[in-house]
């Protein structure tokens, strides 16, 4: 049997026993909780049964106190007992669900209790109404005592039944507890036995082969260590020689790179200047286009202002016409008023209409005057705006001329910079070709140097691994 199989089977058995022990413990705990709940259930049933009997006794005592004293205050315990008994019966009905025998007994108890309470109520009512003969007949019949004896007997039977159930549950729990203890101790001894057997088998199966392997490893590692030490010395000398050659070529490569970088830097600066000049030329051209558009806009504004001025003249003419109509309307209204006065009472309403027409004509005349004033102000503002637009147009034309001159200067500068860029490009190409050729030499030398370093490193790692292997073999030998 293999080592892993022995270990797997041994520990699997141990884990299985531990799992069984855990399940038994959980089952025991659940059983304990259930038994505790049943015990509490039994005591709740007994307590409610005892409360019913106590409340009946309190109700009967309250009834007797009222019969003797005729004082209504003695009936308060009676009414309180009725409420409490009803609550006790409801609680018992919920607690005894599932137990048919106890449920039947509870029904009998409830009937007896209702009869007892009804009898108490009848005696109280007979005393209140003064029917002493009926009261004495009930007392002499012994019905109340018989009901209390039956109630006491039914309660005792129910308590005895609950006590029997409690005894059975306790016995069952003790049996389960004993079984759990036996299983737990059995698992404990089984774990110890299986663990001991597994350890013995592992020692017998593993130790002897390991002793043989460690002896072989120790011999082989010693031979490998001698061979790797010789190879490491040769590789170290080779790496030093190649490294010196690489350093010399690297210095030449750095000089060529620096020259190429300087040429690229100069080319980049010239290209930046060229880009700036071209950008400036573009900006100037954009300014020319913007100025031309601005000139057109100013001319359009001047034309629109002239049209607006003509409209104000038309508005003024219309306003004068409205004022003239208002004056004529006022004269007609005045004549109508005179005629209304001549007509006497018959023209009185017409006179009022003429008066309102005069008021409207006065308002129209005033509005026409205000419009004339506003038109005058607008015409003055339009005149100033036209003069400002004309001056702006002249200034824009001057700026456009200056911008055209600037654009010509940018074009000449750009042509000169393009010549410089072309020369720098040729220099940069030559420098880059030299740098590429030297870099190829450096790359080849670095590859050789890297291979030598890796060879030396590999030999060193082999030596370290051999030393570790030798140390491991020695450790195993000591342990075995």
Contacts of 50 (CB under 8 A, 6+ apart): 155, 159
pLDDT in tens, 15-43: 787 788 788 778 777 876 777 777 788 88
pLDDT in tens, 432-465: 776 676 577 568 667 756 765 676 676 677 667 6
pLDDT, residue 13, reads 72
pLDDT, residue 377, reads 86
Task: Find the angle CA(118)-CA(120)-CA(122) to the nearest 5 degrees.
Answer: 70
Sign of the CA dihedral running 198, 204, 205, 209: positive
Is 232 in a helix, a strand, or coil?
helix
- Rounded to whole angstroms, the Cα distance separating 43 from 91 reads 13
- Rounded to whole angstroms, the Cα distance separating 344 from 323 reads 32
pLDDT, residue 33, reads 76
pLDDT, residue 435, reads 64
pLDDT, residue 412, reads 78
pLDDT, residue 441, reads 53
pLDDT, residue 49, reads 92
- Rounded to whole angstroms, the Cα distance separating 355 from 336 reads 9
Specify the DSSP class assigned to residue 130: T
pLDDT, residue 339, reads 80
pLDDT, residue 97, reads 86
pLDDT, residue 205, reads 65
Task: Identify whether the C-beta of residue 28 lies closer than 8 Å to the C-beta of residue 177.
Answer: yes
The ranges of the chain with pLDDT < 50 are none
Residue 233, token pair as written in the block = 């010395």
């Amino acid at each position: 049997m293999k080592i892993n199989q022995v270990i797997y089977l041994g520990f699997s058995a141990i884990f299985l026993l531990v799992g069984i022990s855990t399940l038994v413990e959980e089952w025991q705990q659940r059983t304990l909780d259930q038994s505790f709940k049943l015990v509490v259930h039994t005591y709740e049933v007994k307590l409610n049964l005892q409360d019913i009997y106590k409340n009946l006794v309190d109700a009967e005592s309250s009834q007797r106190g009222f019969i003797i004293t005729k004082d209504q205050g003695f009936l308060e315990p009676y009414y309180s007992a009725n409420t409490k008994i009803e609550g006790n019966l409801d609680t018992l009905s919920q607690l005894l669900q599932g137990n048919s025998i106890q449920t039947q007994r509870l029904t009998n108890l409830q009937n007896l209790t209702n009869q007892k309470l009804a009898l108490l109520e009848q005696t109280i009512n007979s005393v209140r109404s003064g029917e002493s003969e009926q009261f004495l007949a009930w007392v002499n019949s012994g019905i109340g005592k018989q009901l209390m004896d039956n109630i006491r007997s039914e309660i005792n039977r129910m308590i005895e039944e609950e006590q029997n159930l409690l005894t059975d549950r306790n016995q069952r729990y003790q049996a389960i507890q004993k079984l759990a203890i036996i299983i737990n101790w059995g698992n404990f001894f089984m774990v110890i036995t299986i663990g001991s057997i597994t350890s013995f088998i592992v020692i017998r199966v593993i130790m002897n082969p390991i002793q043989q392997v460690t002896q072989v490893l120790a011999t082989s590692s010693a031979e490998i260590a001698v061979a790797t030490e010789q190879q490491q010395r040769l590789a170290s000398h080779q790496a030093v020689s190649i490294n010196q050659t690489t350093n010399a070529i690297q210095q030449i490569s750095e000089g060529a790179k620096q020259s190429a970088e300087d040429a690229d830097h100069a080319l980049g600066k010239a290209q930046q200047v060229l880009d700036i000049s071209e950008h400036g030329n573009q900006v100037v051209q954009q300014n020319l286009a913007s100025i031309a558009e601005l000139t057109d806009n100013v001319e359009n504004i001047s034309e629109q202002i002239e049209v607006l001025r003509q409209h104000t003249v038309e508005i003024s003419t219309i306003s004068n016409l409205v004022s003239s109509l208002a004056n004529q309307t006022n004269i007609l209204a005045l004549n109508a008023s005179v005629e209304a006065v001549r007509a006497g009472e018959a023209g009185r309403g017409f006179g009022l209409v003429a008066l309102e027409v005069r008021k409207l004509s006065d308002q129209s005349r005033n509005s026409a005057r205000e419009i004339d004033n506003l038109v005058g102000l607008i015409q003055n503002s339009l005149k100033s705006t036209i003069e400002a637009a004309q001056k702006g147009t002249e200034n824009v034309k001057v700026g456009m001329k200056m911008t055209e001159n600037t654009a010509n200067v940018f074009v000449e500068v750009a042509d000169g910079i393009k010549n410089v860029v072309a020369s720098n490009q040729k220099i940069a190409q030559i420098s880059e070709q030299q740098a590429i050729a030297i870099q190829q030499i450096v790359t080849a030398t670095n590859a050789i140097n890297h291979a030598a370093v890796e060879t030396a490193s590999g030999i060193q790692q082999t030596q370290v691994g051999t030393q570790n292997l030798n140390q491991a073999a020695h450790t195993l030998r000591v342990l075995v």
